[in-house]
Protein backbone atom coordinates (compact mmCIF):
# COMPACT_ATOMS: atom_id res chain seq x y z
CA UNK A 1 0.00 0.00 0.00
CA UNK A 2 1.37 3.38 -0.95
CA UNK A 3 1.94 6.13 1.67
CA UNK A 4 -0.67 8.34 -0.09
CA UNK A 5 -3.32 5.63 0.22
CA UNK A 6 -2.68 5.40 3.98
CA UNK A 7 -2.90 9.18 4.58
CA UNK A 8 -5.97 9.74 2.37
CA UNK A 9 -8.55 8.16 4.67
CA UNK A 10 -6.99 9.63 7.83
CA UNK A 11 -7.02 13.11 6.26
CA UNK A 12 -10.68 12.58 5.37
CA UNK A 13 -11.38 11.39 8.91
CA UNK A 14 -9.58 14.45 10.34
CA UNK A 15 -11.64 16.76 8.12
CA UNK A 16 -14.83 15.00 9.21
CA UNK A 17 -13.88 15.30 12.89
CA UNK A 18 -13.07 19.00 12.41
CA UNK A 19 -16.41 19.60 10.69
CA UNK A 20 -18.35 17.79 13.43
CA UNK A 21 -16.47 19.73 16.11
CA UNK A 22 -17.22 23.04 14.38
CA UNK A 23 -20.90 22.23 14.06
CA UNK A 24 -21.04 21.14 17.70
CA UNK A 25 -19.48 24.41 18.82
CA UNK A 26 -21.90 26.41 16.67
CA UNK A 27 -24.85 24.43 18.01
CA UNK A 28 -23.78 24.96 21.59
CA UNK A 29 -23.18 28.66 21.02
CA UNK A 30 -26.56 29.32 19.43
CA UNK A 31 -28.39 26.90 21.70
CA UNK A 32 -27.01 28.51 24.86
CA UNK A 33 -27.69 31.95 23.40
CA UNK A 34 -31.32 31.01 22.71
CA UNK A 35 -31.71 29.57 26.20
CA UNK A 36 -30.27 32.75 27.71
CA UNK A 37 -32.66 34.93 25.68
CA UNK A 38 -35.56 32.75 26.77
CA UNK A 39 -34.54 33.27 30.39
CA UNK A 40 -34.16 37.01 29.83
CA UNK A 41 -30.37 36.91 30.16
CA UNK A 42 -28.51 38.99 27.64
CA UNK A 43 -31.70 40.04 25.90
CA UNK A 44 -30.93 43.73 26.29
CA UNK A 45 -32.91 46.30 28.22
CA UNK A 46 -36.60 45.72 28.81
CA UNK A 47 -38.81 48.53 27.52
CA UNK A 48 -40.44 50.55 30.29
CA UNK A 49 -43.93 49.58 29.15
CA UNK A 50 -43.29 45.90 29.78
CA UNK A 51 -41.41 46.24 33.05
CA UNK A 52 -43.29 45.45 36.22
CA UNK A 53 -44.37 48.56 38.04
CA UNK A 54 -42.16 49.75 40.83
CA UNK A 55 -44.42 50.16 43.83
CA UNK A 56 -44.91 53.67 45.08
CA UNK A 57 -46.25 54.73 48.40
CA UNK A 58 -49.73 56.26 48.12
CA UNK A 59 -48.47 59.08 50.36
CA UNK A 60 -45.75 59.89 47.81
CA UNK A 61 -48.16 59.89 44.89
CA UNK A 62 -47.41 58.31 41.53
CA UNK A 63 -43.80 58.32 40.38
CA UNK A 64 -42.59 59.73 37.08
CA UNK A 65 -41.98 56.13 35.97
CA UNK A 66 -45.62 55.24 36.74
CA UNK A 67 -46.90 58.26 34.83
CA UNK A 68 -44.68 57.49 31.81
CA UNK A 69 -45.85 53.86 31.77
CA UNK A 70 -49.44 55.09 32.12
CA UNK A 71 -48.97 57.31 29.08
CA UNK A 72 -48.00 54.24 27.05
CA UNK A 73 -51.03 52.28 28.28
CA UNK A 74 -53.24 55.31 27.55
CA UNK A 75 -51.91 55.53 23.98
CA UNK A 76 -52.65 51.83 23.44
CA UNK A 77 -56.05 51.60 25.15
CA UNK A 78 -57.65 55.04 25.56
CA UNK A 79 -56.48 57.49 22.91
CA UNK A 80 -58.83 56.20 20.21
CA UNK A 81 -61.74 57.69 22.20
CA UNK A 82 -60.13 60.34 24.43
CA UNK A 83 -57.65 61.66 21.83
CA UNK A 84 -53.88 61.30 21.73
CA UNK A 85 -53.28 63.74 24.58
CA UNK A 86 -56.56 63.15 26.41
CA UNK A 87 -58.08 66.40 25.11
CA UNK A 88 -61.25 64.67 24.00
CA UNK A 89 -62.72 63.31 20.85
CA UNK A 90 -65.46 60.71 21.00
CA UNK A 91 -65.02 60.66 24.80
CA UNK A 92 -64.63 63.54 27.29
CA UNK A 93 -61.66 65.89 27.60
CA UNK A 94 -59.67 64.51 30.54
CA UNK A 95 -57.77 67.75 31.13
CA UNK A 96 -60.93 69.22 32.64
CA UNK A 97 -61.93 66.20 34.72
CA UNK A 98 -63.08 66.97 38.28
CA UNK A 99 -62.36 63.36 39.35
CA UNK A 100 -59.68 62.44 41.88
CA UNK A 101 -57.14 59.63 41.40
CA UNK A 102 -59.25 57.05 43.28
CA UNK A 103 -62.32 57.73 41.13
CA UNK A 104 -60.26 57.72 37.90
CA UNK A 105 -58.82 54.33 38.91
CA UNK A 106 -62.29 52.92 39.62
CA UNK A 107 -63.62 54.13 36.25
CA UNK A 108 -60.69 52.57 34.37
CA UNK A 109 -61.27 49.28 36.20
CA UNK A 110 -65.07 49.13 36.00
CA UNK A 111 -65.90 51.39 33.06
CA UNK A 112 -69.04 53.51 32.72
CA UNK A 113 -72.10 51.50 31.63
CA UNK A 114 -73.11 52.40 28.10
CA UNK A 115 -70.23 54.87 27.71
CA UNK A 116 -66.84 53.31 28.46
CA UNK A 117 -65.68 49.68 28.68
CA UNK A 118 -64.05 48.25 31.78
CA UNK A 119 -60.32 47.65 31.52
CA UNK A 120 -59.77 45.46 34.60
CA UNK A 121 -59.65 42.37 32.38
CA UNK A 122 -57.43 44.03 29.75
CA UNK A 123 -54.86 45.73 31.99
CA UNK A 124 -52.96 44.43 35.00
CA UNK A 125 -53.66 46.15 38.33
CA UNK A 126 -50.31 47.94 38.00
CA UNK A 127 -51.19 49.11 34.46
CA UNK A 128 -54.57 50.40 35.69
CA UNK A 129 -52.82 52.39 38.44
CA UNK A 130 -50.26 53.74 35.99
CA UNK A 131 -52.93 54.74 33.48
CA UNK A 132 -54.92 56.47 36.23
CA UNK A 133 -51.77 58.31 37.33
CA UNK A 134 -51.23 59.54 33.77
CA UNK A 135 -54.85 60.65 33.40
CA UNK A 136 -54.65 62.42 36.76
CA UNK A 137 -51.46 64.18 35.62
CA UNK A 138 -53.32 65.63 32.62
CA UNK A 139 -55.26 67.89 34.97
CA UNK A 140 -52.02 69.79 35.66
CA UNK A 141 -52.25 69.97 39.42
Whole-prediction pTM: 0.58
Residues 67 and 100 in one domain: yes
Residues 84 and 102 in one domain: yes
Instruction: Kindly report, residue by residue over 56-111, the tens digit of the pLDDT.
Output: 455 567 889 999 999 999 999 999 999 999 998 889 999 999 999 999 999 999 99
The structural domain count of the chain equals 2
Residues 102 and 37 in one domain: no
Residues 6 and 24 in one domain: yes
What is residue 94's three-state secondary structure?
A: helix
Write out the residue range of the structural domain in which residue 8 sits. Answer: 1-44
Nearest to 127 by CA among 75, 87, 88, 59: 75
Residues 128 and 65 in one domain: yes
Residues 123 and 54 in one domain: yes
Amino acid sequence: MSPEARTGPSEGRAALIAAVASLTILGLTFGVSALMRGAGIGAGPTPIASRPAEPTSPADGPSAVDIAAGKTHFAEQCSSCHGDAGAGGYAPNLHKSPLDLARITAIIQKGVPGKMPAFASKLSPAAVSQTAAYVDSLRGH
